Amino acid sequence: MSAGALASPQAWLRAQARWHPVEVAFWLATLAPYWLFPDYLVLASQIAITALFALSLDLILGYAGIVSLGHAAFFGLGAYTAGLAAKYGWGEPISGLVLGALVAGVVGYAASFIVARFRHLALIMITLGMGLLLVEAANSASWLTGGNDGLQGVKMWPIFNAFRFDLYGVTAYTYALAALFLVFLLARRIIHSPFGLSLRGIRDNATRMPALGAPSRAHLRTIYTIAAVMAGVAGALLAQTTETVSLESLGFQRSADVLVMLILGGTGRLYGGLVGAIIFMVARDQFSGNTPQFWYFWIGMLLIAVVMFLPNGILGGLAKLTASWRRA
């Protein structure tokens, strides 16, 4: 900490953006499942997809302060778009992914004009309402979406014409992990950009921003659109790796679950969503079994415990712990 007084301002800012060894270790560890858990690669790919979704929510919630209960709308839009593309003959994964992201982004851009205008309860309810509306629309348009039965007949071609989606999930995991990493790099760049600084300003004190001449609403629209694109990527990945899409990809449960994961891991730290997703999904896989009530009970207790004792999530708690070790 004292070294900061000697560093130049540029150097200090550069140091903030530098890759921490723990980060490098984290990403190296994501390669471990290939050797350590080869039977769980399908689960691992699902975790990577969910982590990507959580990351997209962190950008709007943790960095810009937009509390959204309808973020799954973009996940579902990406999923259905990619699924429909494959169903109607175009099974090429990468372009399907881009298409899904694009559709989610366009809808996100349109929605951002509404979302950026509201705060507090009105914002929460508007995002919830828009999400619920989309679910109802998807349900009624069952000729397109398959309704309650889900989208059938999604057949993916091999990636780069060489890597087939196999039963063991090797291709799926590699694909999902690569997408996650690339989007993560993008998110990291955004956070360390002048735009990222403005977002943190909006989150820290929304009143001060217009007093600095900042166009807060335009900034919020931008990040909301970017987050929609990222969520669309995650959704498209789900459609492509599982070759199925259902209404729950758009639903309230998915929006709520990802919120829980993000809180668990800690918002505004970029890795919070990733850590939260890993813990949540692994726990759910182990514990939910045939009694979903059991799962709900423990998630409920966990939420209460996190709010009471770990208000900044697990990463926040770890940060405090390491800070106190450093001081001691």
Within 295-324, the residues that bind other proteins by CB under 8 A are: 296-297, 299-304, 306-308, 311
**Residue 118 lies near other proteins (rule: CB under 8 A):** yes
Size of the site for other proteins (CB under 8 A): 75
**Residue 89 lies near other proteins (rule: CB under 8 A):** no
State the minimum distance, in angstroms, from the CB of residue 235 to other proteins. 21
Write out the binding residues for other proteins, residues 22-81 only, by CB under 8 A: 61, 67
Residue of 128, 279, 282, 283 that binds other proteins (CB under 8 A): 128
Residue of 120, 167, 286, 326 that binds other proteins (CB under 8 A): 120
H or E segment to which residue 200 belongs: helix 194-204
Residue of 110, 178, 182, 193 that binds other proteins (CB under 8 A): 193
State the minimum distance, in angstroms, from the CB of residue 133 to other proteins. 5
Write out the binding residues for other proteins, residues 233-292 only, by CB under 8 A: 252, 256, 259-260, 263
Runs of H (alpha helix) within the chain:
9-17, 21-29, 33-36, 41-58, 72-87, 93-115, 120-140, 142-145, 170-191, 194-204, 208-211, 216-242, 252-265, 272-287, 292-309, 313-327
Write out the binding residues for other proteins, residues 164-183 only, by CB under 8 A: none
Report how far residue 184's alpha carbon sits from residue 19's, in angstroms, rounded to the nearest whole number.
13
Measured CA angle at 261 (ends 24, 323), to 5 deg: 50
Report how far residue 169's alpha carbon sits from residue 315's, in angstroms, rounded to the nearest whole number.
29
**Residue 231 lies near other proteins (rule: CB under 8 A):** no
Write out the binding residues for other proteins, residues 2-21 only, by CB under 8 A: 4-5, 9-10, 12-14, 17
Residue of 31, 38, 140, 149 that binds other proteins (CB under 8 A): 140
Q: Decide: 272 and 315 in contact? Cβ < 8 Å.
A: yes
> Which two three-digit tokens encode residue 180?
């996650």
Report how far residue 251's alpha carbon sits from residue 69's, in angstroms, rounded to the nearest whole number.
10
Report how far residue 31's alpha carbon sits from residue 34's, in angstroms, rounded to the nearest whole number.
6
CB of 29 or CB of 137, closer to other proteins: 137
With contacts defined by CB under 8 A, name the span among 31-39, 92-100, 214-222, 234-242 that binds other proteins. Answer: 214-222
Q: Which amino acid is at 258?
A: V
